[in-house]
Amino acid sequence: MKNIAIPIVVSIVSSLITVSIYQSVFGNQSNHAEVRYRDRVPAKFATNINESPKNYPTISNVNEFTDAAFKSTPAVVHIKSPGKDNSNNELFDLGSMSSGSGVIVSADGYIITNNHVIDGAKEVKVTLNDKRTYNAKVIGTDPTTDLAVVKIKEKELGSRKLQALDYGNSDLVEVGQWVLAVGNPFNLTSTVTAGIVSAKGRNIDILEGTYSVESFIQTDAVVNPGNSGGALIDTDGNLIGINTAIITRSGRYEGYSFAVPVNLARKVAKDLIEFGTVQRGFMGVTIKDITNQMFEDYNLSSMDGVFLDKVNSGGAAEESGLKKGDIITFVNEVRVKSSPELQEQVALFRPGQKVKVIYLRSGKEFEIEIILKNASNGTDLDAQPIKSRFTKRETLLSEMGLEIRQLTDAEKRKLKTKRGIIVTSIRPGSVISKTNMEKGFIISTVNKKDVLSVEEFIDFVMDASGEVVFDGFYESYSGDYSYVFDK
């Protein structure tokens, strides 16, 4: 009995000590289980062996959402337009054709929205997040992407500067990442909902026309009538898409929403502002997705890529050397896994511009440059430019492959600087990317001239000839850095 009692006493004492330790460590926490995402993606899922696993916000601490919402809501507007009603469509287009949302993309009043929101109108009413209402003129529309641009009338806006959203890079958007949808469902001012990216490159066959482009970002963020033309943003508050459609049988949200990628929306908006019409470049091919039969017949190692079913005589693709049966896998260093993704990437360029294409032929990989053509098989643009201050900025930044914004007063205090603009995005394969500059670089000077604003930066680069030198620093790295390129 004595021998049995001793182990029992030891067990009881050990249990009491364990409970005591547990309560001292966890005693102040709720009894409810806390659901969290992994703090890090396992290393085996990293996209590059030398790349650090990515951080994801926990469900219980998503400050990124509040910051992004605070930044984006002033830049999303409500739009009223005399128009039609298409709300009985099975592929519900987010509300009646006479009401929707829009995204401010420049301080002087340019706004991107959907074509179906303002279809047939010459003027619309725009209500800002602070409830001020203005009249706006329709600058241009593009039914092939369901996008449009309107501009608040200068005489009404006066000298007031609006808060615009910074552009993100939709090519870098990943399935599974957090996103927010910002819009005006049911005429409510700037409603924000959260979700994740469910898929990319979705074609849901809602746009008509031979040259329509559907390569939607699919999300499960809740969107409802009135969200059309609103913003899809990342957790940094950058614009990554224009909310356009949902699939529903009830007329309300059922878990499937679709947004035009911002890279495409930005290019279309730029064309409409600069020319009044979209300047589309074409390769001159008929394409198909890879099928199981093609996979076997061509002895492929992957079903990613786009099969060239026909190469038009005299077209851009034929002149570059492409042939029927070739499989395109990359356009300008962006992987294309499907026909919609290829159409999206080509739609980012104008006639006469070059795109770099990587393709497979007989199991071997080749790289070429294609000079895109217009619908008439020439390289001329379809219209003369319309003079615009906005155009000057957008054209320059697009050519460099650079996104920038002003430093906020808080950032200037933190960084102990009174000058500089920050780089928010760099397009892969662009002039700037080849200098090895990284996102987050703070440009202090251009050719030794102090940069105090985005406008000054644009002017200094425009005036430069030959070599252009950007001097500056990073918040995360010590020391000063210089990047040089030839203009």
Widest CA span of the chain, in angstroms?
103
3-state SS, 341-359, equals HHHHHHCCCCCCCEEEEEE
- Check whether residue 242 and residue 329 sit in a common domain: no
What single-letter amino acid sits at 132?
R
Q: Look up the CATH number of the domain holding residue 416.
A: 2.30.42.10
Q: Are strands 354-361 and 364-371 parallel, antiparallel or unpaired?
A: antiparallel
**Rg (alpha carbons) of the chain, rounded to whole number:** 26
Separation between Cα atoms, residue 453 and residue 387, nearest integer Å: 22
**Does 15 map to a domain?**
no
4: how many CB neighbours lie within 10 A of its CB?
8
- Check whether residue 307 and residue 170 sit in a common domain: no
- Check whether residue 226 and residue 198 sit in a common domain: yes
Separation between Cα atoms, residue 392 and residue 74, nearest integer Å: 25
pLDDT in tens, the chain (487 residues): 445 455 544 454 455 444 444 444 434 433 332 222 222 223 322 333 233 334 444 444 455 689 899 999 999 999 998 755 444 333 334 444 468 999 999 998 999 999 999 988 899 999 999 999 999 999 999 999 999 999 999 889 888 889 999 999 999 999 999 999 999 876 667 889 999 999 998 888 888 777 889 999 999 998 887 889 999 999 989 999 999 988 776 666 677 889 999 999 999 999 999 989 999 999 999 999 999 988 888 888 889 999 999 999 999 999 999 999 999 999 999 999 999 999 999 999 999 999 999 999 988 999 999 999 998 889 888 777 776 555 666 678 878 888 898 888 888 889 999 889 999 989 888 899 999 999 999 999 999 999 988 888 988 898 888 899 999 999 999 999 999 998 7
- Check whether residue 216 and residue 123 sit in a common domain: yes
- Check whether residue 145 and residue 89 sit in a common domain: yes
**Enclosing domain of residue 353:** 285-371
* 142 token code pair: 């593009």
**Does 142 map to a domain?**
yes
- Check whether residue 64 and residue 207 sit in a common domain: yes
Residue 6: burial class (beta carbons within 10 Å; 0-12, 13-18, 19+): exposed
**Does 344 map to a domain?**
yes
3-state SS, 233-261, equals ECCCCCEEEEEEEECCCCCCCCCCEEEEE
Local structure of residue 375 (DSSP, 8 states): T
**Does 84 map to a domain?**
yes
**Does 376 map to a domain?**
no
Question: Structural domain tally of the chain?
Answer: 3
Separation between Cα atoms, residue 307 and residue 325, nearest integer Å: 6
- Check whether residue 268 and residue 329 sit in a common domain: no
- Check whether residue 212 and residue 341 sit in a common domain: no
- Check whether residue 290 and residue 390 sit in a common domain: no
Q: Which residues, 6+ apart, have CB-to-CB distance to 73 below 8 Å?
A: 129, 182, 190, 192
**Does 27 map to a domain?**
no
- Check whether residue 151 and residue 270 sit in a common domain: yes
- Check whether residue 347 and residue 392 sit in a common domain: no
Kindly list the catalytic residues: 116, 146, 228
Q: Look up the CATH number of the domain holding residue 60.
A: 2.40.10.120
- Check whether residue 223 and residue 295 sit in a common domain: no
Pair 164, 74: CB distance under 8 Å = no
**Does 36 map to a domain?**
no
Q: Which residues, 6+ apart, have CB-to-CB distance to 26 below 8 Å?
A: none
pTM: 0.69
